[in-house]
Structure 1
Amino acid sequence: MQLTLGPVLFNWNAELWRDFYFRIADEAPVDSVVVGEVVCSKRSPFFEPHLPEVIERLAAAGKKVLMGSLVLMSLPRERKAMEGLAADGGFMMEVNDLTCLRMVGDRPHAIGPFVNIYNEATAGYFASRGATRICLPPELPLSAIRTIARAYPEVTFEVFAFGRVPLAISARCYHARLNKLSKDNCKFVCEQDPDGLAVTTLDDEPFLAMNGVQTLSYTCASLLGDIDKLKDAGAGSLRLSPQQCDMVAVSTLFRDVLDGKVGAAEGAQKLDALYPLKKSNGFLYAKPGAAFITDSGDVRRIVPAA
């Protein structure tokens, strides 16, 4: 089973973003890396000057580089940018908006977790159009993953295995609205929350997290203890989504569990030390996504009070 590092979903400082990928290239035991801005095109100009050297460093380290498309395109300049990305034959494009399918044509490409693929017929449609890798939506239960993956063994099916779960995207910017700013004059206030901003209920319990125009889970998904089940289901890769923690250590821990060097229980303890945000895996068991299901099948916790 492979490991894939997903794109940085948050608005990180450009130098921090560059140095993060440099370290991933040099130290992280991942097989593939998705780079590029997928959430908000307004962020792109800050890190684009560093993109060529980041890609070169990753490729030189033997990582397969994929270029992620925007999740939601709404402006002519965004469509033009994605057309340029699709036309670049140097690296495979990961499609996150169906508009990009026309752009990539019949060339091999990947499908990101933001595209709704809920059954084997839909997966087959994308495979017939040239998709060789498909990261399934994070809300799919294990039974659906098994059915889809076994139907198309020639496709690498990936499962979202670590990180705050991407749930929705909007044309409105929550960060701007919260700060009484317009989306066009947002002042990039999302940079103040490089790991997402927690949203609480009226009872002051953490519920979701916001990231500009994107809604994420409050909890951090972790399928570290479910690796054997995912292998048996036919998953070919696990996706690790960058958070504000030592992602080299996180990827190394996942690799050690995959290779049998570390047990799942010990790995879970180490992961909590690396990133103490409450973990969840409920979607995998057809339960509320914020739940964490133990090996015995018990619900260990739902989103707790802060």
Structure 2
Amino acid sequence: MQLTVGPIQGFWDAGLWSAFYERLAETPGISRVVLGELVCSKRLPFYQTRLPDAVAQLVAGGKDVALTSLALITPLKRERRMAAELAAMELEVEVNDLTMLAYLPEGARFSVGPLVNVYNEGTLAVLQRRGAVGVCLPPELSAASVQRICAATDMPVEVWGWGRLPLAISGRCYHARYHDRAKDQCQFVCAEDPDGLAVDTLDDQQFLAINGLQTLSGQCANMAHHLPSLRQAGVASLRLSPQTTGFFEVIDLFADLTSGRIDAEEFCAKALPHAPGGAFCDGFLDGPTGVAWSGARDAVRTQPAGTP
């Protein structure tokens, strides 16, 4: 099974952004990289001039490269211009808002990102006829849906493997509102929380995280326990979402896991210190809720009789 690094969801310092992709280009085990601005068009100018160098480094490092569209393309002139410029580049576009299709020539090859609601094989077939050559499925799909979609298509299917889950995108900026600022005068306050700002309930329970316009899961999704079933279903790749610390250690652990050098339990024990939010979830695949964690269920089942 291959490994894909998805676009950075948070707002990173430009120097950190460049250093990340420079190191990623030299990192073995990664087959594909999707980069660019996914969340907020105001962030792109901070590293836009660095994109060509990052792409060149990744290609030289043997990575398959695609550029992401915004998750929400609004009528703003700058966002329409961004979409048109993205379509004009000679690189594969990962479409994360179907508005992007209006800017792609008929028959142009593209991939479908996890923020597009591909919930069944019929939707994927329509997109394939439009030119889609690959898909990263929405992380909220069940294992049965993943299996059914994989069985119905001949294109590579990817699923979310690691990182805070993208749950929603909005026209409002949560970060700006939290700091009592207007969206247009946000002063890029989201840069203070490059991996998302945790939001707990009034009872101090871990709940969600905010990232500018985006709502993320409070826990870190981790599909290690599901690797055998995902392979059997025909999933070609796992998507790993970047984070500012510990990410290259996570890549190494996934390389060990997918090659069979470690099992899921060892992976989880070693990866937990690097998990954003300090906890795992994988419940969308087969749990009662998205926030559920199969490792917790396994621990209960393996406890000796009479253990509290």
TM-score (norm 2): 0.93
Amino acid paired to 1:269: A
Q: Deviations over 1:257-296 (max 9, x none)?
A: 1111111111111111333710000001042111101396
Structure 1 CA distance, aligned partners of 2:28 and 2:284? 27
Check 1:45–1:98 CA distance in 2 against 1; reply closer, same or farther (3 A cut): same
Check 1:32–1:299 CA distance in 2 against 1; reply closer, same or farther (3 A cut): farther
Check 1:297–1:126 CA distance in 2 against 1; reply closer, same or farther (3 A cut): farther
Match of 1:303 in 2: none
Structure 1 CA distance, aligned partners of 2:184 and 2:296? 48
Structure 2 CA distance, aligned partners of 1:296 and 1:219? 16
Amino acid paired to 1:146: Q
- 3-state SS, counterpart of residue 232 of structure 1: helix
Amino acid paired to 2:52: P
Check 1:191–1:133 CA distance in 2 against 1; reply closer, same or farther (3 A cut): same
Runs of 5+ unmatched residues, structure 1: 301-306
Match of 2:32 in 1: 32
Amino acid paired to 2:70: L
Match of 2:306 in 1: none
Runs of 5+ unmatched residues, structure 2: 302-308
Match of 1:44 in 2: 44
Worse-superposed segment, 174-183 or 268-277: 268-277
Check 1:179–1:296 CA distance in 2 against 1; reply closer, same or farther (3 A cut): closer
Structure 2 CA distance, aligned partners of 1:298 and 1:229? 19
Matched, 1:175 2:175: yes
Seq. identity, %: 46
Structure 1 CA distance, aligned partners of 2:288 and 2:133? 29
Cα shift at 1:298: 7.5
Match of 2:269 in 1: 269
Q: Deviations over 1:193-217 (max 9, x none)?
A: 1110111112121200000000000
Structure 1 CA distance, aligned partners of 2:245 and 2:222? 14
Match of 2:238 in 1: 238
Structure 2 CA distance, aligned partners of 1:204 and 1:165? 20
Structure 2 CA distance, aligned partners of 1:262 and 1:294? 16
RMSD of the alignment, in Å?
Answer: 1.5
Contact 2:287 2:293 in 1 (8 A): no
- 3-state SS, counterpart of residue 9 of structure 1: coil
Alignment of 1:86-125 (within 5 A): 86-89=87-90, 91-104=91-104, 105-125=106-126
- 3-state SS, counterpart of residue 209 of structure 1: strand
Alignment of 1:249-264 (within 5 A): 249-264=249-264
Alignment of 1:67-78 (within 5 A): 67-74=67-74, 75-78=76-79
Q: Deviations over 1:122-143 (max 9, x none)?
A: 1111111111110000000100
Matched, 1:66 2:66: yes
Match of 2:135 in 1: 134
Structure 2 CA distance, aligned partners of 1:200 and 1:97? 29
Structure 2 CA distance, aligned partners of 1:5 and 1:132? 18
Match of 1:206 in 2: 206
Cα shift at 1:45: 0.6
Matched, 1:53 2:46: no
Q: Deviations over 1:2-24 (max 9, x none)?
A: 11000000011000011011111
Amino acid paired to 1:53: D
Structure 2 CA distance, aligned partners of 1:126 and 1:115? 11
Question: Structure 1 runs of 4+ off > 4 angstroms?
Answer: 295-300
Structure 2 CA distance, aligned partners of 1:212 and 1:61? 32
